[in-house]
C-alpha cells in the first residue's frame, strides 16, 4: 500500500457497544486498512501516541480504545460484572469492531493488549488479518505456573490476590502503578508528565475492581464471569495460532523476562517472528517508538502485499 501524503489529526471519540460506552483515540484515513491498538496495565490508550502517526502516514486507520476500567470508557449498567478476564476484554474488542463495522482488522497489543490479541487469534481468526504482540508471549492451554525467576517478577500479581493487596490498589493505586513503571524498565525511561497523564486513566471508578479481578482470576483465585465460559473453552482448546504474528520483546524487560517469550515456533502455523529490542524494558511503545513503528510497518505491509 503506498503511503499517504498526510496523516489526519487524532481525535477522541465514543461509541456504544452492548456493555460499554467505549472511548478511543482514532486517526488516519477513514478508508485505510483498520488496525486496533490495545494498551496494557498499568497504561492507557496514549501509549500509542508516538507509534500511531507512522501508521496513519502509511495509510492505516487506527482505533486505540481505553479498555474497560480505564480512562473515560464506562460500563452502561451498574449490574454488569466488573470482570477483568482476558476473555471479557477480547469480547469487548470484538464488540468494538462490530460497532465500527470492521469485518476484518489487525490487532496490535501491549501487555494485556497482547494477551487480548492472542486470545482473538485463537477464537476469532476469521476476523483478523494480523496480530502484533508486545512484551508477552503465547503458549497453548491455561496459564501454567511460571518458572521461579518469572514468578518472582510477578510478585505484584500474587500481592493482588491478598486482602492487603486489594487495600493497596483501592487506596494507593497510583503509587502502586508508579512502582511498576519504576521497576519494569531501565531507570529514567519516562518523564513525569507522561506518567501523570497516564495515571489519570486509573481514576476510572472501576479501575481497581477490574485490576483485582484480572489478576485474581488469571491464577484461579477469583470466579470467572460465566458470560465468557464458552469463549474461554475455545481459547484453551487452541493448540496453535494461524494468524500471522509479530512478537516484540524488550531485551531489558524486568517484568516479562525475555527468556519466557522464546516460545517454540511450533505454536504458530501462520507466519511468526520475534524481534528483541536491546536495552528496552517493558514499555517498547513508549521507550522505543521509532523502532516499534518500523517493525510494525514492515509487518503490516507484508500482509497488505499478500492481500
Task: Quick: pLDDT tens for 196-236.
Answer: 999 999 999 999 999 999 999 999 999 999 999 999 999 99
Kindly give, in sequence order, each residue whose CB lies less than 8 Å from that of residue 47, ignoring residues fewer than 6 positions away.
39, 40, 110, 198, 283, 285, 286
Task: Quick: pLDDT tens for 254-300.
Answer: 999 999 999 777 899 999 999 999 999 999 999 999 999 999 999 99
| Conformational region of residue 64, where left means phi above 0, alpha means psi within -120 to 50, and beta covers everything else | beta
Which residue in the block uniquely carries the three cell numbers 465514543?
14
Task: Quick: pLDDT tens for 37-57.
Answer: 999 999 999 999 999 999 999
Mean pLDDT of 165-189: 98
39: closest CA among 18, 28, 24? 24
For the entire predicted model, the pTM comes to: 0.96
Query: What is the predicted pLDDT for the residue at 2?
Result: 47
**Domain ranges for the chain:** 12-301
Would you tell me which CATH number, out of the four given (3.30.70.20, 3.40.50.1820, 3.30.2270.10, 1.10.3210.10), belongs to the domain 12-301? 3.40.50.1820
Give the whole-angstrom CA distance, residue 88 versus residue 82. 9
Task: Quick: pLDDT tens for 120-136.
Answer: 999 999 999 999 999 99
Query: What is the predicted pLDDT for the residue at 264?
Result: 73
Amino acid at each position: 500500500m503506498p503511503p499517504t501524503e498526510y496523516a489526519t489529526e487524532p481525535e477522541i471519540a465514543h461509541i456504544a457497544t452492548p456493555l460499554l460506552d467505549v472511548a478511543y483515540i482514532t486517526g488516519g484515513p477513514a478508508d485505510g486498512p483498520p488496525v486496533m491498538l490495545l494498551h496494557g496495565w498499568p497504561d492507557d490508550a496514549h501509549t500509542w501516541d508516538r507509534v500511531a502517526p507512522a501508521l496513519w502516514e502509511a495509510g492505516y486507520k487506527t482505533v486505540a480504545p481505553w479498555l474497560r476500567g480505564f480512562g473515560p470508557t464506562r460500563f452502561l449498567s451498574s449490574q454488569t460484572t466488573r470482570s477483568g478476564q482476558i476473555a471479557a476484554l477480547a469480547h469487548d474488542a470484538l464488540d468494538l469492531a462490530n460497532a465500527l463495522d470492521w469485518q476484518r482488522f489487525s490487532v496490535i497489543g501491549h501487555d494485556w493488549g497482547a494477551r487480548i490479541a492472542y486470545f482473538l487469534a485463537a477464537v476469532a481468526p476469521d476476523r483478523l488479518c494480523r496480530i502484533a504482540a508486545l512484551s508477552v508471549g503465547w503458549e497453548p492451554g491455561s496459564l501454567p505456573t511460571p518458572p521461579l525467576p518469572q514468578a518472582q517478577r510477578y510478585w505484584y500479581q500474587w500481592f493482588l490476590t491478598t486482602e492487603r493487596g486489594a487495600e493497596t490498589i483501592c487506596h494507593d493505586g497510583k503509587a502502586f502503578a508508579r512502582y511498576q513503571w519504576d521497576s519494569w524498565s531501565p531507570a529514567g525511561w519516562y518523564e513525569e508528565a507522561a506518567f501523570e497523564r497516564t495515571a489519570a486513566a486509573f481514576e476510572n471508578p472501576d479501575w481497581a475492581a477490574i485490576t483485582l479481578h484480572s489478576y485474581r482470576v488469571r491464577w484461579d483465585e477469583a470466579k470467572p464471569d460465566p458470560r465468557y465460559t464458552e469463549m474461554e473453552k475455545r481459547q484453551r482448546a487452541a493448540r496453535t495460532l494461524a494468524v500471522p504474528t509479530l512478537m516484540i520483546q524488550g531485551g531489558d524487560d524486568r517484568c516479562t523476562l525475555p527468556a519466557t517469550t522464546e516460545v517454540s515456533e511450533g505454536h504458530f502455523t501462520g507466519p511468526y517472528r520475534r524481534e528483541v529490542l536491546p536495552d528496552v524494558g517493558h514499555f517498547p511503545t513508549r521507550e522505543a517508538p521509532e523502532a516499534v513503528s518500523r517493525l510494525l510497518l514492515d509487518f503490516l505491509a507484508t500482509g497488505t502485499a499478500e492481500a
